[in-house]
Homo-oligomer: A and B are copies of this chain.
Amino acid sequence: MTRADPIPRNPDNDYSGEQAARRRDFIRGKTGANLGAVAAFSIDPAVTQGNIENFIGTIQMPLGLAGPIRIRGEHAKGDFYVPLATTEGTLVASYSRGMRAISESGGVKTTVVKHSMQRAPVFLFEDALEARDFGDWLKNNRAEIGQVAESTTSSGKLVEIEQYPVANMLYTRFCYTTGDAAGQNMTGKATFVACEWIRKNHPLKPRYILSGAIDTDKKHSAMNLIQTRGKRVIAEFTLKKEVAHELLRVDPENLYRYRQIAAVGAIQAGSAYSGAHSANGIAALFIATGQDEANVAESHAGITYGQLLDSGDYYWSVTLPAVICATWGGGTGLPCQRECLEMLDCYGAGKADKFAEIVAAVVLAGDVSLTSAVLAGDWVASHETHGRNR
């Protein structure tokens, strides 16, 4: 077997413009692709270290501004203009319409109700009884395990060790609060050190694997929906009847009736999200702000709940059980991404809950708009005017 040529690397300094050019030359030679646009970046390659390997340039993703949306959250307060990076025509316009409906109805309340980021080691035993006894031992040594885990991090706190015994194994979830970081790596490190301490101190020196696959990192799961992953966030507002009629061209009674139909659809289909389209807003906001874009998989899960009020107005909410986001670390410090966080006053320490509230508010706005469009029958028409089909 002949091997294909390896990608050029420079062990001394791989994050330079020259090195990026060398790789572009290499791939241009292989494929004939003209990489002029990819090469026309304006950020310093050096700042991408820790975010990418084999850097060859950047993808320029169009950035639009949605809003304003009035948020009356615990942390997010005021009128926000929301940066959304997407290539999906009509998305920004549609979210803006939803934001307007929310704002004209008085704004959206947002609340982070739980924090829990996990690593999920599985411990292997001779039989189920040994595994159960080990579970008791974990409870009895909870304080020390917490100390050991937390010794590796300044902001992470171990809040719970959930236990799920199956066969002769104990699947666990080490659940942390992680401050302003998303925390996947922080919790991985803390849990690894805790596991090593456990292996050393438990009489059986149990074998373990750092992931028993119930974290469930970068994937949707019923576990996430039930137990929370990252932040569990709720956004809720009352859509005024007049706003529904005039701006959204729908009647709250029809929205409420459709809620039943869509909930049945969600149950019939086994959907991860029972509303209209959380993933659109989350993906666009995550890309704009340097979040880990793969976390759309987890973060898009959620439950929509509505209630027609005696006033004729419509209470509308979304509950997102697995919002994974950060205002520090990862991609948040890259130049464009940081600016987008700054637009929301969400960069840096003490801002993660505020940002999570904005995520939920954005999701709700998107659902308000799309759901109304579907009901008002102008869904197809809207894509004809603004979007890809033009």
Asked if B53 and A93 make an inter-chain contact with CB atoms under 8 angstroms apart, the answer reads yes
Q: Which residue of B lies closest to A296 (CB)?
A: B296
A258, chain B: closest CB distance, angstroms:
7
A47, chain B: closest CB distance, angstroms:
9
Asked if B232 and A165 make an inter-chain contact with CB atoms under 8 angstroms apart, the answer reads yes
Q: Among the listed stretches A138-146, A266-274, A348-356, which one makes contact with chain B, having 4 or more residues with CB under 8 Å of it?
A: A266-274
- Cβ of A380: which chain B residues have Cβ within 8 Å of it? 188-189, 192, 210
Asked if A386 and B53 make an inter-chain contact with CB atoms under 8 angstroms apart, the answer reads yes
Asked if B61 and A219 make an inter-chain contact with CB atoms under 8 angstroms apart, the answer reads no
- Choose among B186, B258, B264 the residue that contacts A167 (Cβ–Cβ < 8 A): B264
Asked if A52 and B60 make an inter-chain contact with CB atoms under 8 angstroms apart, the answer reads no
Asked if A96 and B268 make an inter-chain contact with CB atoms under 8 angstroms apart, the answer reads no
From 217 to 240 in chain A, residues with beta carbon under 8 angstroms from any chain B beta carbon are 217-227, 232, 234, 236
CA distance A372 to B244 in the complex (A): 33
- Cβ of A1: which chain B residues have Cβ within 8 Å of it? 104, 106
Q: A37-B42, A51-B88, A165-B234 are in contact. Are A335 and B60 (CB under 8 A)?
A: yes
Mostly helix, strand, loop or mixed at chain A's interface? mixed
From 360 to 390 in chain A, residues with beta carbon under 8 angstroms from any chain B beta carbon are 374-375, 377, 379-380, 383-384, 386-390
Q: A37-B339, A212-B261, A377-B210 are in contact. Are A54 and B59 (CB under 8 A)?
A: no
Given contacts A214-B271, A217-B277, A223-B270, 17 further A-B contacts (CB under 8 A): A37-B42, A51-B88, A52-B87, A53-B90, A53-B92, A55-B64, A57-B63, A87-B331, A122-B261, A188-B379, A209-B258, A212-B262, A213-B261, A220-B273, A221-B269, A222-B225, A263-B267
Determine if A16 is an interface residue (Cβ-Cβ < 8 Å). Answer: no
- Choose among B51, B269, B377 the residue that contacts A216 (Cβ–Cβ < 8 A): B269
Q: A88-B51, A109-B127, A218-B280 are in contact. Are A266 and B213 (CB under 8 A)?
A: yes
- Cβ of A91: which chain B residues have Cβ within 8 Å of it? 52-53
- Cβ of A21: which chain B residues have Cβ within 8 Å of it? none
